[in-house]
Amino acid sequence: MSKSNHWSEYWKSGVQTSLPSDFKKNYDGEIYAFWEGRVDDLSSGDHVLDVCTGNGAVALIISEIALQQNKSIKITAIDISEINTEFIQKNVAQKVWSQIDFISHCPLADIAKHVDDKYQLVVSQYGLEYTDLNITAEVIFNLIQFGGELAFISHSVDSDVFKYMQTEQSIYQWLSDIGIISTLSDFIGARISANGLKNTLLSIVEKNQPPINFHGQTLLIHWQKMLTMLIKNNNHTIKNEKDNLKKFIEAHKAAKLRADDVVQVGQKLSDKKWNQEISSVGFRCLEDKPIIYQGTNVAGHSYRYIK
Ligand SMILES: C[S@@+](CC[C@H](N)C(=O)[O-])C[C@H]1O[C@@H](n2cnc3c(N)ncnc32)[C@H](O)[C@@H]1O
């Protein structure tokens, strides 16, 4: 599975944001307020580009605010992965999504193949840190009109998402190390029978207690339910579950790659100079500060640069 495919799998699952347990419908509070400030600065006729859009969260916020402010803004939203436009159209009012041109399978480095516009404002959220700024900082610079702005929110090294994802990564690794993933793959690939599956899983579960820091984690609970179902059901029922099990394992592999991606980004952000390329290509920094959500949680870091 490639880097973009695991994000495609994630967006296909029908989520609006990359932090669905905190922001189900869309980002709100201080994050919404940051984007509101950016739309305040726009005029009718301006073009906006949202890069690393995912399922379009920020593009949709900007579209909604522009409508409230009676501004006619052209919005383009791109992502390297497959944007789930079907989900967006079901989840969001038509007048909001219909103002946005979504472009899937568009790596930021290759964006010139997909768009030939110049933008007043380029935005991104939890996105630029996933790209190679040695390449993409200049790409963005070339997309912006003189006097235009790059505004983005990155993850923050202090945010809980990294601790959470690190624990998830350890759970994925543990499930693999104790042989659960390979046993399920053997059953899916018809290398062991339903009875063989049950006996092997039972023996693995009896021999391996999950480490204490995994207790109560949603991911582990999810797996425990699945394993209990497989061990307790009869062979006929388990055979009928094979297709579901295959999907479950595929989703598990995609989620593991996503956790790896996020943890790697956390390591990148721990270098305070992670975004120095942006200034190096000619942008001037206007804002560089943490976003404190509801006065307590660090939800990210906001940056504004002018060309
Ligand atoms: C954490 S998600 C953020 C999505 C959305 N902006 C949000 O705030 O919910 C990161 C997104 O960046 C995309 N991405 C990563 N590298 C990219 C690249 N080089 N070009 C375009 N998109 C990229 C991924 O496919 C993924 O959808």
pLDDT in tens, 43-52: 999 999 999 9
CA-nearest residue for atom 13, ligand 1, is: 52
Distance 60 CA to ligand 1 centre (A): 15
**What is the arrangement of strands in the sheet containing 297-306, beginning at the earlier edge strand?**
100-103, 74-78, 47-51, 119-125, 144-154, 297-306, 284-293
Distance 127 CA to ligand 1 centre (A): 5
- For 197-221, what is each residue's pLDDT tens digit? 999 999 999 999 999 999 999 899 9
Per cent of the chain over pLDDT 90 is 87
Ligand 1 contacts CB of residue 153 (under 6 A): no
Give pLDDT, residue 14. Answer: 94
Distance 88 CA to ligand 1 centre (A): 16
Per cent of the chain over pLDDT 70 is 99
Ligand 1 contacts CB of residue 80 (under 6 A): yes
Instruction: Please state, in angstroms and rounded to a whole number, the distance separating the CA atoms of residues 82 and 102.
Output: 10
Distances (CA, A) of 208 to 143, 175, 177, 183, 192: 54, 10, 10, 15, 21
- Domain coordinates in residue numbering, the chain: 3-157+270-306, 160-263
Ligand 1 contacts CB of residue 56 (under 6 A): no
Q: Quick one: average pLDDT of 240-255?
A: 91
pLDDT band at 85 (very low <50, low <70, confident <90, very high): very high
pLDDT band at 295 (very low <50, low <70, confident <90, very high): confident
Specify the 3-state DSSP secondary structure of 288: strand
Ligand 1 contacts CB of residue 10 (under 6 A): no
CA 19 to ligand 1: nearest atom: 9
CA 53 to ligand 1: nearest atom: 6
Distance 18 CA to ligand 1 centre (A): 9
Distance 4 CA to ligand 1 centre (A): 9
Q: Are 174 and 214 in contact (CB under 8 A)?
A: yes
Ligand 1 contacts CB of residue 79 (under 6 A): yes
Distance 184 CA to ligand 1 centre (A): 31
Q: What CATH architecture applies to the domain 3-157+270-306?
A: 3-Layer(aba) Sandwich (3.40)
